[in-house]
Structure 1
């Protein structure tokens, strides 16, 4: 046979084989395969997405969490000695409680995690999840203990460090939080580390650095729920510096990315109120509270109603705040800080002082220092109040965060002590940081400044 036809036939067969390797006909549909003839890996299931999130300490979608908890519960009915599954179930329930602002998840989460530790005492994921749970309950001392137990067993496991950093910040130990962040950065990079760094930077008053970290984290986030959570934190940071429009953009993008991001919905209410879009603000707050009933959101909405002269509507929100705090306490959570703040301005001032003194002994953070100082001032104890206000606002004392509310509190305390120069400076600072920091207190800061007037040139330099 002629060699040329044989060569042509061989080339033809090789072409057919190559075509078969590059494509497959399935049910009459031509399916193109990637080079190498292998189909792409299947997309992760909801359970797999949720598991990847909770084991690495990043936010997970609510639907994925429901799928994971249901799957783990089914598995554990036939495998009750699976310590890893118990730890994963507990971690998922912690995340569910956080996403829903529902403390009724905490006891069930704790039960699963303690079962995991009974089956296996050196279960590091369970120890870490116990630290996350304690932080969610605002029990930062316990969170530190659980986190340190996990770190002792596996000091190189990076996921232990974020809850330890959060616990240190909650206990007012900013130096330890910084050391832990340095160790975390040695072990890991990525969005979860960027977000934790942003929180530390924010507490130090490094707002530009914190904003840059959050922007990078949102860009690098994997799943929509994770990205939305980081956008919400970026919105909080923009709000704290008084940028209403930027805050609103971040909050709106967070809700578009994940409609279950109710913290961002409340953030929209905050920003819209500052922009004078009151009807929209009230609607945003109501939507947030319907799905994410955190007591602080009820306080914010109540104060917005009060600023509008709608006292009965405000009282409804204040009653909801008390109800949510009671529910939290019944399930092992500590909401004494928000309750103390509420009582100082709207309820029993003496009770606020008692609650916040006890909270200061448990966890002396910047936020508690500010709240206790303000409660003491409201109770007429201005001299005792001032050191706490200084602690909350002076970087050398630990209060590096730039907060308009904290500066306002200090200015009003100093005004009561007739330290008018210092009062003028701190009230001015509060309004410079964020002129819209509170629908109730921002107008009062302006009124106090107006009463103080300009400093007298004849009087010479004012004392602090």
Structure 2
């Protein structure tokens, strides 16, 4: 049943709230506790584990301490009730979220074991476990498996709205933006509210509709109930502002996200990105270090390493690059795929031919737009410029699903075209990169300006002067 407009916040029934506080594992009841619904005046605040239970089962971000409490609660419950399939599904989903929030892929095998146990206990229409396995596959960047599990969950329970965000993520990772939009349409038929608005914003952004995405995220953040949820939407709003080159607005969003939820490490890394663009280098370095200390994502290590390089601190950069390689290896040992970021690193800082091999394999597995851009750039760096351009076009041409307005993607395409002496197109795309975000990368923005200076102004052909007609 739809909740209506996002601004409406229906009251939670006392029975549902009591069930949640008691740690009830029956997901059908918990799913009524939607993240934008608020308890009536005087109702007791839910316990931390109950808050995470509501968040995990309704597909919204949960606070790390609450997740830890939920995991402890479910493990204790399952020791006494090992045949509770839904409790196993909740535990597995909580492990997925814990691994995602901490960038610790070691949680993923534990998640998989719990979710498969749930299926073993109850294989008939167990949409909760199927959805959990889809979320796990998305977290591991195995989008084909995510699509398979999510479609199975949809078949088991077509009206279960929390399946559709999983489908959106899987389809997007596979570069199927038409299917992602179809999944969003169905999601919006089934449900409204902050979680749905945030998912809509992601689809809008991927289609180049940045104003619509920003408006949807603003509404999602305003309607979010829990701090962790609100902080996640603020971080995404900050990222949108950063992508359009609005440094001050991006920084405000990132700072507010960290204030609301100090464990919001993506916002901490976002601050590093923006502070570097503002020339506040010491603060930028500190922000990146804090983010990496609690969420050591390879992407953050790459960004920090490149920042060190722009400062001439090559040894410090190498430390970050070593961390990147270590995190990729650790992720792989737990079934997670970080080949994209490793390929991006190798293309610019290592072995470009090795990057091509890695990214070709990644493209074969999951041909998303980010992979198309990375593979195109790796091919260019390896000297295969004509083939590189084909992938760069895929990443930037709306007719080929490249609707994302990315300064980096435009920069890559422009530099490849410059190498191929397609000067008009190169000039146009390099200028577009700097229009989208003049600060997208300290080193690359400088390189784009230098390339434009080399290309010079477009030449104007002399048109023949026509004789004036006789009067």
Give the TM-score, by structure 1 length: 0.90
Q: Which residue of 1 is the match for residue 238 of structure 2? A: 235
Partner Cα separation in structure 1 for residue 431 and residue 48 of structure 2? 50
Q: Which residue of 1 is the match for residue 312 of structure 2? A: 309
SS at match of 1:201: helix
SS at match of 1:440: helix
Q: Which residue of 1 is the match for residue 119 of structure 2? A: 117
In the superposition, relative to structure 1, how do residues 459 and 64 fare at CA in structure 2: closer, same or farther (>3 Å)? farther
Partner Cα separation in structure 1 for residue 418 and residue 42 of structure 2? 68
Which deviations, in whole Å up to 9, do the C-alpha atoms of 1:200-239 show, x marking residues without a partner? 0000000000000000000000100000000000001100
Partner Cα separation in structure 1 for residue 101 and residue 118 of structure 2? 23
Partner Cα separation in structure 1 for residue 456 and residue 317 of structure 2? 33
Q: 2:77 aligns with which of 75, 78, 102?
A: 75
Structure 2 unpaired stretches of 5+: 1-39, 464-471
Q: Which residue of 2 is the match for residue 437 of structure 1? A: 440
Which deviations, in whole Å up to 9, do the C-alpha atoms of 1:39-60 show, x marking residues without a partner? 9332211111000000000000
SS at match of 2:57: helix
1:440 CA drift (Å): 1.8
What pairs with 1:55-454 in structure 2 (closer than 5 Å)? 55-121=57-123, 122-454=125-457
Q: Which residue of 2 is the match for residue 28 of structure 1? A: none
1:140 CA drift (Å): 0.5
Q: Which residue of 2 is the match for residue 10 of structure 1? A: none
Which deviations, in whole Å up to 9, do the C-alpha atoms of 1:386-437 show, x marking residues without a partner? 1100000011110000000000000000001000010000011101111111
SS at match of 1:367: helix
In the superposition, relative to structure 1, how do residues 219 and 346 fare at CA in structure 2: closer, same or farther (>3 Å)? same
Partner Cα separation in structure 1 for residue 112 and residue 462 of structure 2? 63
Give the TM-score, by structure 2 length: 0.89
1:458 CA drift (Å): 2.9
Which deviations, in whole Å up to 9, do the C-alpha atoms of 1:18-66 show, x marking residues without a partner? xxxxxxxxxxxxxxxxxxxx99332211111000000000000011101
Q: 2:51 aligns with which of 41, 49, 52?
A: 49
The structure having more radius of gyration, on CA atoms, is 1
Partner Cα separation in structure 2 for residue 180 and residue 218 of structure 1? 22
In the superposition, relative to structure 1, how do residues 457 and 319 fare at CA in structure 2: closer, same or farther (>3 Å)? same
In the superposition, relative to structure 1, how do residues 54 and 39 fare at CA in structure 2: closer, same or farther (>3 Å)? closer
1:269 CA drift (Å): 0.2
Aligned-CA RMSD value: 1.1
Which deviations, in whole Å up to 9, do the C-alpha atoms of 1:116-150 show, x marking residues without a partner? 00000121111101101100000000000000111
Q: Which residue of 1 is the match for residue 16 of structure 2? A: none
In the superposition, relative to structure 1, how do residues 81 and 293 fare at CA in structure 2: closer, same or farther (>3 Å)? same
Partner Cα separation in structure 2 for residue 392 and residue 177 of structure 1? 17
Equivalent pairs, count: 423
In the superposition, relative to structure 1, how do residues 150 and 55 fare at CA in structure 2: closer, same or farther (>3 Å)? same
Partner Cα separation in structure 1 for residue 423 and residue 310 of structure 2? 27
SS at match of 2:337: coil
Partner Cα separation in structure 1 for residue 151 and residue 206 of structure 2? 22
Structure 1 unpaired stretches of 5+: 1-37
SS at match of 1:80: coil
